[in-house]
Amino acid sequence: MEMSNGLEKVEKHAFSIELKSKECLKRVAIPSEAGDTVLIEGFLGELEEVDLVEGVMLEIKGANGILRMDLKEEELNTLLKKRKGERGRE
């Protein structure tokens, strides 16, 4: 997936958030200055399921909605192993 902000294109790790109601959305902050941080906060509710759809999309389902992120299984495993290694050194 390719997204553009008018200045550059980003091709990695697109995401989507689907909420059942706007009441599940806590905050959306989109600053007027280019380059400032964009913030999206909300409530997925009680987690119901985590799935890796076709090995390329992480999908986290909650009572209030779904968070999806394109993340390959190999990338997820690499990140989890890295995290596990960091915890072992503490």
Q: Does some domain include residue 26?
A: yes
With 0.85 as the threshold, say if the pTM is over it.
no
52-79 burial, b at 16+ Cβ within 10 Å, e below that, comes to eeeeebbebbbebbbbbebbeeeeeeee
Is the confidence at residue 56, as pLDDT, over 80? Answer: yes
**Residue 39 belongs to what domain range?**
14-88
Is the confidence at residue 90, as pLDDT, over 60? Answer: no
Q: Does some domain include residue 62?
A: yes
Q: Which amino acid, one-letter code, is at 20?
A: K
pLDDT digits (tens, 9 = 90+) for 64-82: 999 999 999 899 889 889 8
Q: Does some domain include residue 8?
A: no
Confidence (pLDDT) at 84: 76
Higher confidence at residue 88 or residue 66? Answer: 66
Q: Does some domain include residue 9?
A: no
Is residue 60 within 8 A of residue 47, CB to CB? The reply is yes
Half-sphere exposure of 87 (CA within 13 A, CB side): 6
Confidence (pLDDT) at 36: 86
Is the confidence at residue 59, as pLDDT, over 80? Answer: yes
